[in-house]
Chains A and B, each alone.
Chain A
Amino acid sequence: MNNPCAYEIRVEGHLTDQWTDWFNGLVINFADDGKTTLHGTLADQSALLGVLNKIHALNLTIISVKRSDPEN
């Protein structure tokens, strides 16, 4: 739980990739269904919570948070 892991966070709305730096370097993809995916590696759970807090601070609606298997 305290090792770097790949995460995928989906939020409501279209976010441009200019926000990448703001979200600790997560890659930002906009899907056709009007939702945005942020994905990338985060150092640990604290970093994850930091990103979630930032998303919350911008009043973005979080739809899901997934951790990818570290092996893959």
Chain B
Amino acid sequence: MAKNKRDGTFYINPYLGGVLLGLVLFGTYYITGRGLGASGAVKSTVVTAVHAVAPSHADENKYYSKFLSDDVSPMSNWLVFEVLGILAGGFLSGTIYGRLKLKVEHSPKITSKRRLIAALAGGLLFGIGSQFARGCTSGAALSGMAVLSASGIITMMAIFGSAYLFSWIFKKLWI
């Protein structure tokens, strides 16, 4: 049994996983007054990088400059550390359950190259969409649901509804 749990195929019970995730999310609200996030850390990094490379360009752009106020927003920093935590927590779980392996996971019907191109395109769209919605599946949808925010629940329904439709259009990538 113990051996079986470490061969990479074992996942915890999804309801247990959900309760764990829910407690982490609850703890985040209880401690910080805000929810969890992911895309926000990407945004902070892009804003910081563009500002470092082309400061005047970043100051002139109406979007970057929103996040470049003189008093540096502590929350943007917070999300970067939170994402470092996600990497550490994921690595720990991957180590325990024997899933650490450098690989491209894809359906046997497509090549690795095709999978990587689709993943890049998917990430690109997700990056754009998360800026429109002011958050992604974590920051807008999941965290929003916990506080019953209209924005979060509407965004969640739009994400899952659209993903459901488009996954059948891109079915060949998956099954």
Task: Indicate, yes or no, whether A interacts with B.
Answer: no
Give the interface of A toward B (CB within 8 A).
none
